[in-house]
Structure 1
Amino acid sequence: MIGIDIVAIARISKLRARYGESFAERFLNKDEINLAKTDSTLAGFYAVKEAVSKALGCGISSECSFFDIEIYKTEKNAPKIKLSDKLKQNFKVSQADVSISHDGGFAIAAVILR
């Protein structure tokens, strides 16, 4: 299953300016917030979570919440994702790969679930 999402970094900047630091708490856990120091990283993380939900074919919903998807980084700073047991079982996913890129005021994420 493949999912892709693109987010305008300016959109994230506006939401963060409007809601403050609590904005990130709507879709990231504390560890993810600590990793996301810039608006471009926040946009990339948002895109990852949307891309996962698209790959699953359900969108962000009761079947797949933002908090069922955790983003972390390797020692070499490569992004990785961990899915909740609920997602792994309900959608029969055993492996998840992700790529995030930022350019031209946009963040894009591509996710492959197997």
Structure 2
Amino acid sequence: MPETSAAQIRVGIDLVQISRIAESIERFGARFLRRVYTDGEIDYACSAPTSEGERLAARFAAKEATKKALGLDGVGWRDIEVQRNASGACHLVLYGAARAAAGAARLALSMSHDGNQATAVVIAYE
């Protein structure tokens, strides 16, 4: 039987306590925000102050889930960005080392938050 190349599917998932992100922001302020999030992510999160913590925590979870799905070590947080399209759906954009490491992989993202928890699932497929 001839060999066929099977599609590779990898999954990353992460769960974050929203209060943990809020505590980091309170303790380290703009330094934490600028180290982890892109300007676009910060602008979006801050556009709704009552949802800022949930939005930032979900994006943190998305970045962690992306690193897990792609097996990325040593990649900067800002090399992974969550963007929203015109309909409001979120997708991932990779830069620098993250983009190079991802190769031809395509990414699907799902994020949610409830109570003090934010979660994200990333599926990488070729």
- Report the TM range for the smaller structure's normalisation: 0.7 to 0.9
Matched, 1:12 2:21: yes
In structure 2, give the amino acid aligned to 1:58.
L
Q: For residues 70 and 105 of structure 2, what CA distance do their matches in structure 1 show?
A: 13
Q: For residues 17 and 50 of structure 1, what CA distance do their matches in structure 2 show?
A: 21
Do the aligned partners of 2:107 and 2:123 also contact (CA within 8 Å) in 1?
yes
Structure 2 alignment gaps of length 5 or more? 1-9, 47-51
Q: TM-score, normalised by structure 2?
A: 0.79
Count how many residue pairs are aligned between Structure 1 and Structure 2: 111
Quote the offset at 1:2 in angstroms.
0.7
Corresponding residue of 1:39:
53
Moved over 6 A (4+): none
CA 66–93 in structure 1, closer or farther in 2 if over 3 Å, else same: farther
In structure 1, give the amino acid aligned to 2:25.
R
Structure 1 alignment gaps of length 5 or more? none
Do the aligned partners of 2:35 and 2:78 also contact (CA within 8 Å) in 1?
no
Q: Which range is displaced more, 66-75 or 101-110?
A: 66-75
Map 1:1-114 → 2, pairs under 5 A = 1-37=10-46, 38-59=52-73, 61=74, 64-84=75-95, 86-114=97-125
Q: For residues 48 and 6 of structure 1, what CA distance do their matches in structure 2 show?
A: 9
Q: Which range is displaced more, 29-38 or 43-52?
A: 29-38
Q: TM-score, normalised by structure 1?
A: 0.87
Do the aligned partners of 2:72 and 2:98 also contact (CA within 8 Å) in 1?
no
Do the aligned partners of 2:13 and 2:120 also contact (CA within 8 Å) in 1?
yes
Do the aligned partners of 2:18 and 2:57 also contact (CA within 8 Å) in 1?
yes
In structure 1, give the amino acid aligned to 2:86.
E
**Higher Cα Rg, which structure:** 2
